[in-house]
Chains A and B, each alone.
Chain A
Amino acid sequence: MKQVFDKLRPHFSGHGRLAMLGPLFEAVESFFYIPNVPAKTGPFLRDSLDLKRFMSVVLAALLPPLLFGIYNTGHQACLAARTAAGIWPSFSTGMAVAFPIIAVSYGVGFAWEILFAVIRRHPVSEGFLVTGLLFPLTLPPTIPLWQVAIGISFGVVIGKEVFGGTGRNLFNPALTARAFIFFAYPAHMSGDRVWVAVKNTADAVTGATALAHTTLSAPFNNITELLSSAGFTFSRLFYGAYPGTIGGTSALCCLLGAAILLITGIASFRIMFGGIAGLLCSGLAFNLAAGPGQLPWLSVNPFYHLVLGGFAFGIVYMATDPVTAPGTDKAKWIYGFFIGALTLLVRVLNPAYPEGVMLAILFMNIFSPLLEYVEIRFMLKKRIPNV
């Protein structure tokens, strides 16, 4: 194997015939071997973990939601089609639904990565392995494949490559991609028809997500019972066996992933706990404001919000992205706290969107350089004007 690479290298480097495709060669090579050239661009790390290992751990942490997501997608489809919904039928059906989406996301995204790498002479980044998997996991299983392709193109090109590639972007590319198709094709991204993938859609299956399931006319103090009577009990929401995005339904799997990320020290515990604190605090504050005649979502127990919707997935995998999160400690707490609080603000008060974690993270991405700047100024013991 190594000989093959050594033999091929002259063609791709310097003045070789295929020098144009150098970055592609390098990407394939470092996929198999640890490169012996140091990283030239951020995100740099201070210890022996390089970017490649770093991304491998994130990929490992993404395995639980991925596997469970494939199973759950198939399981919901089987239940809706009233066929056998055992483990293996579910898994194979889920595979048939989820695999093309993931494959398109990776394929189209890598095509853009390689195009930019070849033209702009920078190495292909491992960061895309994560982006290309995060993005499909946040999509509903019925998403048309061409929309996946458009979304990931926008995310990679506008979200990342125009800034110069991994480590230089301001916004999380996977979320940029998702937000783009969320606003461009709302009919395919929200509502109650998109969350269960069934082949024969002659009779459309309504598989509402838990968040979409409650109407604003629900009586006061009743949402929890309403959810329970619809089958969305706390434990079911925690395990994640309900219709939803491909990978974002299970808080348990996100918890496993979070454990991997926290033990290896790759994700910041400050952001995660800050986010959970923000969600719980604003949830309690909304509880205090709840009363008869008010919005019903005000009265939901804040712990329900932890397991509802995509919050767990977002705060574990998206908010902790080291490139777009602030780099200083206190700023991380504030950043996480506001992600949690804004998520709840959208869920409770904004009738336009059922879920808020995506836009909450993108919104805080805007302010993460500012938080960093303010903290650094404080560290410099200089007085700053009120920002």
Chain B
Amino acid sequence: MLDLFNIFLNSVFAGNILLAYFLGMCSFVAVSKNIETAIGLGFAVVFVLSITTPVNWLIYHFLLAPGALFWAGFPEINLGFLKLVVFIAVIAAMVQAVEMIIDRFSPALYAGLGVFLPLIAVNCAILGVSLFMVERELTFVESVVYGFGSGVGWMMAIVAMAAARIRLRYAAPPKGLEGYGLTMIVTGLMAMAFLLFSGITI
């Protein structure tokens, strides 16, 4: 139980998928202009991550990993090289489902997210979490917690950024740094402050 809690804390703070690994930057920078949209996209990412990570875990451990096809009578087959393709396919399918759900229940959010909703499919944070999950040899329950925690961490970062950009409207940066440039600098400073949590375990 404590292990799970540690995995959750680590994926939200010290190992924040955005601020420690800089994955998922494109939608982070592009959608953080408006706080409502940022919250919406944050929930979408939490949702997609907490579904795709365990689903990918099942697929990897029962179909792809070396010896995973033991149950079907092919213990020597190793389909690990299909990992990337299959993970992306699963993610794309999940995003389609999320898109339809959002379109059905919140057309306003659907319009606000625009092209970035389908783009979650190619959001490197989503794929990155699945690949980290394989690399760190998590168990099934751990992968659920890790996926959910990474989503929460990403959402926290984008919501904080969206609020910070309300203040940045009054900033007067040098010409070359207006807009995205300043956002990147703020992201870097945020990452520095997030080092607060590095090393904390309970």
Contact = CB atoms under 8 A, between A and B. Distances in A.
Interface of A: 42, 120, 122, 158-159, 162-165, 168, 170-171, 176, 179-180, 183, 342, 345-346, 349-353, 356, 359-360, 362-363, 365-367, 369-370, 372-373, 385, 387
Contacts of A362: 189, 192-193, 196
B189 A170 contact: yes
Q: Which 5 A-B pairs have the closest CB atoms?
A: A164-B172, A352-B199, A370-B163, A359-B196, A362-B193
Given A179-B193, A350-B200, A369-B164, 12 more contacts: A42-B170, A162-B182, A162-B185, A163-B168, A179-B192, A349-B201, A350-B196, A359-B193, A362-B192, A367-B160, A369-B163, A369-B167
**A171, A356, A370, A372 pick with most chain B CB within 10 angstroms:** A370
A25 B168 CA distance: 29
**B35, B185, B196, B200 pick with most chain A CB within 10 angstroms:** B196
A170 B163 CA distance: 11
A158 B170 CA distance: 17
B199 A370 contact: no
B170 A373 contact: no
Given A162-B173, A163-B171, A359 B189 contact: no
Contacts, number: 89
A230 B170 CA distance: 51
B193 A183 contact: no
**Looking at chain B's contact residues, is the secondary structure mostly helix, strand, loop, or mixed?**
helix
8 contacts: A158-B189, A165-B172, A170-B164, A170-B186, A170-B189, A359-B195, A365-B193, A366-B193
A162 B199 contact: no
A126 to B, nearest CB: 18
Given A349-B200, A349-B202, A369 B189 contact: no
A387 B173 contact: no
Nearest to A324: B167
Interface of B: 35, 39, 159-160, 163-164, 166-168, 170-174, 177, 182, 185-186, 189-190, 192-202
A387 B194 CA distance: 19
A294 to B, nearest CB: 11
A36 to B, nearest CB: 24
A288 to B, nearest CB: 15
A342 B196 contact: yes
B39 A385 contact: yes
Contact of B198 (A352, A366, A369): A352
A163 B192 contact: no
A283 B65 CA distance: 47
A180 B171 CA distance: 22
Contacts of B166: 369, 373
A170 B198 contact: no
Contacts of B201: 349
A183 B202 contact: no
A370 B167 CA distance: 10
B194 A363 contact: yes
A170 B167 contact: yes
